[in-house]
Amino acid sequence: MSRSERLLQLLEVLRRHRHPVSGQALALETGVSIRTLYRDIASLQAQGAAIEGEAGVGYVMKPGFMLPPLMFGAEELDALVLGMRMVAEHGDPVLAKGAAHALAKVSAVLPPALRRELETSALLIGPRGRTPAHAVETGQLRAAIRQERKLRIAYRDPGGTLSERVVWPYALVYFDLVRVVMCWCELRGGFRNFRTDRIEAADDLSERYPRRRQALLREWRLQEHVPERSILP
């Protein structure tokens, strides 16, 4: 690995961590000695990288720092294109537009050779099947999850019974033809999942629920014995 590739890898590792990471952990993750790690940190800081910290305390990259032109391996580029095209084809209209814009932004900062690989990718997504009609926009549910706000929903169960509930939405699951919003339900005092096409109305109560969504998801996983699967460390 060249020095420039090593420095770029270190930037990528720092970008993935939201909290300070020890120099020893960074050296282990990047496969260099602790002395080389300290030299690389100093080099990046001298070049303007917004890395804060010191030996014995840990290092963190300030939010908002822009990485230099992106480099991807063949499999990474294929995964990126396939994922974005899948969202564009199978997501709701707002997410589809966001995927197209994100792919265009990535393309704009790629070196010319990689940009050609991205734009001529032969990985295609087939048309999705017919999805049920929705009375409530998925974007409203995503906003409630992002802002950790309570919703009052009118929900019709598979038997046709309509109920009104106050829920704390913390995750949205996309299946091939349906979407499911995962919630803590105040009516039932426990975790419940609701198909989004069966939600007939949803009102934002403009009130934050008392838990963090990550904590709710973690508690649900423990309760259901579901292992955590994530592309992030």
132 belongs to a structural domain = no
DSSP secondary structure, 67-88, as one string: PSS----HHHHHHHHHHHHHHH
Give the contacts of 187 (CB within 8 A, at least 6 positions apart). 163, 165, 166
Give the contacts of 112 (CB within 8 A, at least 6 positions apart). none
pLDDT recorded at residue 124: 86
- One domain for residues 26 and 81: no
Domain count, the chain: 3
pLDDT tens across 129-138, in order? 777 889 999 9
d(CA 111, CA 119): 12
Question: Does the reported pTM lie above 0.75?
Answer: no
CATH of the domain at 189: 2.30.30
Structural domain including 23 reads 3-61
Q: Which of 61, 90, 105 is the last residue of a domain?
A: 61
Does 50 have pLDDT greater than 60?
A: yes
Closest to 134 measured CA to CA, from 55, 181, 197: 197
- One domain for residues 142 and 220: yes
pLDDT recorded at residue 66: 60
CATH of the domain at 34: 1.10.10.10
CB 213 within 8 A of CB 201: no
218 belongs to a structural domain = yes
130 belongs to a structural domain = no
